[in-house]
């Protein structure tokens, strides 16, 4: 079944350690008076059929956003692929779209572009190429790859791009993405974005 907005579940990845943020849970850090993840939810909500949240702590806080919250499929903070695998178990959607919780400027046509690229290439997985760089954490994946992903993780695989490149992968192109896909990784980056938002008011 080809991807459509209605048969895609967005998995917001909030399961990281936040090491460069001093171990803080990045998705819950405030930006312009709201948690970072709230900005991501606001942008992705009109683009997909469902939303779920992958988090390894603070489930009570994340559940207040009104969406299912679940932990990684493997222990010891194994990374985005574990969140993707666990996400397949909590949704019936034929396709899932992963995106990090700390990308508050993600494009409002993200799902549409990824759907188009996937269908054009007849692919089972799609990721973003923004200003010439692969943004592997943003991926649209068919449920048909669930078993393959489980085998990859069970064998110790963790690298997102390595798993993606083992399959026929489409690229959704953003030639002039500016900073739409930038992560907020440090307190300084968060403060800078806060200042920019204030200047644009």
Q: Sheet containing 50-55: which strands, arranged edge to edge?
A: 69-70, 50-55, 8-14, 95-100, 133-142, 125-130, 169-174
What's the mean pLDDT when you consider all of the chain?
Answer: 90
pLDDT of residue 75: 64
Domain of 83, CATH number, reads 3.90.550.10
Residue 117 reports pLDDT greater than 60: yes
Task: Tell whether residue 14 is among the known ligand binding residues.
Answer: yes
Whose CA is closest to 110, among 37, 46, 153, 176? 46
To the nearest whole percent, how much of the chain has pLDDT over 90?
A: 70
Residue 101 reports pLDDT greater than 90: yes
CB 183 within 8 A of CB 100: yes
CB 79 within 8 A of CB 149: no
Task: Tell whether residue 13 is among the known ligand binding residues.
Answer: yes
Distance CA 143, CA 93 (A): 8
CB 25 within 8 A of CB 18: yes
pLDDT of residue 193: 80
Range of the domain at 31: 5-199
For residue 113, name the pLDDT band (cuts at 50, 70, 90): very high
Task: Tell whether residue 72 is among the known ligand binding residues.
Answer: yes
Whose CA is closest to 63, among 78, 52, 79? 52
- Give the count of beta carbons closer than 10 Å to the beta carbon of residue 19: 10
Task: Specify the higher pLDDT residue, 88 or 183.
Answer: 88
Task: Tell whether residue 85 is among the known ligand binding residues.
Answer: no
123-169 residue pLDDT tens: 999 999 998 999 999 999 999 999 999 999 999 998 999 999 999 99
pLDDT of residue 79: 83
pTM of the model: 0.92
Sorted by sequence, the CB contacts under 8 Å of residue 188 that are 6+ apart come out as none
Number of domains the chain contains: 1
pLDDT of residue 177: 74
Task: Tell whether residue 198 is among the known ligand binding residues.
Answer: no
Task: Tell whether residue 154 is among the known ligand binding residues.
Answer: no
């Amino acid at each position: 079944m080809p991807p459509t907005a209605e048969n895609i579940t967005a998995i917001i990845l909030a399961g990281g350690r936040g090491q460069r943020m001093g171990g803080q849970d990045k998705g819950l850090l405030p930006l312009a008076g709201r948690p970072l993840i709230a900005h991501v939810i606001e942008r992705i909500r009109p683009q997909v059929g469902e939303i779920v949240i992958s988090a390894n702590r603070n489930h009570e806080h994340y559940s207040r956003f009104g969406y299912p919250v679940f932990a990684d499929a493997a222990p010891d903070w194994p990374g985005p692929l574990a969140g993707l695998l666990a996400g397949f178990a909590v949704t019936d959607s034929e396709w899932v779209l992963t995106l990090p919780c700390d990308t508050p400027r993600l494009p409002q046509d993200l799902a549409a572009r990824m759907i188009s690229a996937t269908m054009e290439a007849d692919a089972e997985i799609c990721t973003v190429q923004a200003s010439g760089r692969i943004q592997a954490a943003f991926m649209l994946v068919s449920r048909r790859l669930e078993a393959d992903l489980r085998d990859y993780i069970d064998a110790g695989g963790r690298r997102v791009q390595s798993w993606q490149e083992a399959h026929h992968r489409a690229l959704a192109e953003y030639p002039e993405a500016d900073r739409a896909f930038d992560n907020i990784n440090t307190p300084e980056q968060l403060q800078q974005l806060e200042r920019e938002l204030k200047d644009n008011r």
